[in-house]
Every structure is written in C-alpha cells, then in structure tokens.
C-alpha cells in the first residue's frame, strides 16, 4: 500500500502546523497598522516563515504514518518546504499585482531574494502569476487562489512530500482565514 498525501494529516501531525495565537495576534497587528493590507496577504506573510520552520523541524524527525515508521530525509524536508511556500509566495506576489499591477508583481518576483535565485520557484511561480492575479482580483481573500493553485500543482507533481507541503499550506491558510473570520 503506497502512501497518499492525505495520510500525513491527523491530529498532532508534524506536517500540519497549528494555528498559533501569537501568529494570529501578529496578523491582526499587521492589519491594524497597515489598512491597505488584505487579510490573506497578512496571513501569507507569516506562513512563509511557518513553512520554512516546519521543514527544519521535520529534518531527521522520526514519524509514524499509516503504521509505518519513517525518518524524514533532507530531500523530503526540502520538497515539503517548496510545496508549502510556493502557494504562499504566489499569493504574496498576486497581492502586489492587485495593488500595483501585474508588471510590478513580475518585477517583485524576479527580484525577491528568496525566489529570484531559485529556478525551481521561478518555473512554478512565473507562469502562474497572471492566472493567480486574475483569481485574486475576483476573490481578494486568496482562498480561491490557494485552492486552485494547490489542486493544479498536486495534479502535476509526482513527489509525495511536495504534495504534502502543498496540502499543508492549503489547510493552514484556510485555518488562519477561519480563525480571523476571513470570508
């Protein structure tokens, strides 16, 4: 029996970060301090770091998934991290397009220090930016964008840990939206 991404999500799963009250407080603070911020934009800002932290915590960790004991390798943790942060980065760049136009979002994507040097991120994000900006213009919460991008990337990916990261990002983003009352 082969593992599926859904096998990795259970109560207390190390692959699915909890909604943390201190992060909720930081998001609320960001929204109070900058009224031009969209709630989804503020959530995305904090989720990038959550995804990177999760991948570091997963490295070398012994986990039990569907009665199998496993140790997470650096490649698996890296695939998880890329899966988690890709939709969050896309959401951030798409908010730039809503505020300042698609060319500004393309410029930000090409010059962002965490993304500009990664061909893998550029190859995932660049072709999806216009589509994502259109989705975000219709639904500024970011929920449709996250749902659509995660579904599309999951269908295209053959790496289980990349799919787990994508699904973790989707679930975590939606959990923060729910906690903050984002419609």
pLDDT in tens, 70-114: 888 889 888 988 999 999 999 999 999 999 999 999 999 888 887
The pLDDT assigned to 92 comes to 93
Q: Is the pLDDT of residue 167 over 70?
A: yes
Mean pLDDT of 130-141: 92
Counting the structural domains of the chain, the total is 1
Full domain range(s) for residue 91: 5-180
- Could you tell me where the beta strands, DSSP code E, fall in 4-151? 62-65, 68-71
Q: Which long-range contacts (CB under 8 A, 24 or more apart) does 126-135 make?
A: 128/90, 128/152, 129/90, 129/93, 129/94, 129/97, 129/102, 129/105, 130/102, 132/90, 132/91, 132/93, 132/94, 132/97, 133/94, 133/97, 133/98, 133/102, 133/105, 135/94
pTM, 2 dp: 0.89
β-partners of residue 69 are 64
Please, which pLDDT band fits residue 9 given cuts at 50, 70 and 90?
A: confident
């Amino acid at each position: 029996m082969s593992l599926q991404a859904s096998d990795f999500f259970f109560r207390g799963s190390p692959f699915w970060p909890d909604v943390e009250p201190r992060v909720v407080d930081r998001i609320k603070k960001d929204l109070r301090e900058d009224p031009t911020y969209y709630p989804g934009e503020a959530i995305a800002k904090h989720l990038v770091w959550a995804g990177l932290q999760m991948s570091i915590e997963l490295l070398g960790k012994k986990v039990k998934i569907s009665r199998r004991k496993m140790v997470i390798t650096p490649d698996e943790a890296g695939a998880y991290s890329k899966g988690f942060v890709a939709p969050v980065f896309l959401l951030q760049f798409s908010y730039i397009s809503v505020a300042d136009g698609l060319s500004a979002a393309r410029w930000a994507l090409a010059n962002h220090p965490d993304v500009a040097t990664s061909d893998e991120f550029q190859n995932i994000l660049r072709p999806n930016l216009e589509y994502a900006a259109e989705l975000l213009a219709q639904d500024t919460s970011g929920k449709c964008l996250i749902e659509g991008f995660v579904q599309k990337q999951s269908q295209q990916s053959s790496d289980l840990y990349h799919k787990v990261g994508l699904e973790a990002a989707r679930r975590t983003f939606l959990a923060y939206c729910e906690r903050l009352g984002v419609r």
